[in-house]
Amino acid sequence: MALIREVFGKSPFGPLLQHTRKAHECVKLVRPLMEALVAGDYEELHRLQDKISKLEYEADVIKHEIRESLPRRYFLPVAREDLDVFLHSQDSIADGVEDFAVVLTIRDTKIHPDLVEEFSEFVGQILEVCSTLMAAAEELQNLAEASFGGAEARAVLERISGLGEGEWKADRMQRRLSRHIYRLEAELDPVTILFYEKMLGLLGAIANAAENAGELLRQMIVKG
């Protein structure tokens, strides 16, 4: 019985889903962060940054528990290495949101009125990419029970099929917004321009991390 429990013990996919949800809780605060920045509500920015930092820490705790509680002889429908890389990519999403939140609290920066709408659309695209990943990752438990095959696998593959296009759209929006920023350089000081560029890079990195996580999930299904 002890050997059976060791080989077929507690599944890591439940905690992995918890980690995914915790990362997505961080993502959902990107919109309020931008709204607070646009409104010049720097006190709210600091409050949100503290909340995100707590969520990211909670995600880290789950991540460490998953890694420490997975015995070497544990039976899995996918390779441990693939599972660990997927966990890392999910963690990068939460880390990316925390980095973005921290940067926004470093300097009391105003968003030029001509850029507000484009920034909002860009954030919306980032959230769409992450939501697509979350919808697919919600099926992790079902995927594991189906050994990463069958109808469950096909449904997840269909969900993540649009991730690449979504991230590509985010890239295009990022470049367009960057060009708009430099068209306003006569009205903006150099530090503000650099700050905007930093914001764009960090937001884009969140979408990249979500796309990478989706691709890793796709690879696990294909290998399975």
**pLDDT the model gives residue 135:** 87
Q: Is the per-residue pLDDT at 6 higher than 50?
A: no
| pLDDT exceeds cutoff 70 at 10 | no
Q: Which of 107-116, 184-193, 201-210, 214-223 has the lowest mean pLDDT?
A: 214-223
pTM score > 0.85 for this model?
A: yes
Q: Model confidence over 152-167: pLDDT tens digits?
A: 888 888 888 888 899 9
Q: Which residue has the higher pLDDT, 224 or 60?
A: 60
The domain limits of the chain are 10-223
Ranking 16-20, 126-130, 138-142, 213-217 by mean pLDDT, the lowest is: 138-142
pLDDT of residue 156: 87
CA distance 145 to 124: 33
Q: What is the mean pLDDT of the chain?
A: 89
Summary count for the chain: helices (H), strands (E):
10, 0
- Name the nearest CA neighbour of 153 among 74, 51, 221: 221
* pLDDT the model gives residue 77: 76
Among 75-79, 102-106, 122-126, 205-209, the minimum mean pLDDT is found in 75-79
Tell me: the pLDDT tens digits for 16-56? 889 999 999 999 999 999 999 999 999 999 999 999 999 99
**How far is the first Cα of the chain from the last one, in angstroms, to the nearest whole number?**
28
CATH superfamily of 10-223: Phosphate transport system protein phou homolog 2; domain 2 (1.20.58.220)
Q: Which residues are within 8 A (CB) of 59 and not within 5 positions of it... i.e. 6 or more apart?
A: 19, 22, 23, 26, 91, 94
pLDDT in tens, 62-74: 999 888 876 554 5
Which two three-digit tokens encode residue 102? 């921290």
Average pLDDT (127-133) is 94
User: Would you state the pLDDT for residue 81?
Assistant: 84
By the 8 A CB rule, do 111 and 119 touch?
A: yes
Range in 71-80, 95-104, 145-154, 199-208 the model is least confident about? 71-80
**pLDDT higher at 224 or 19:** 19
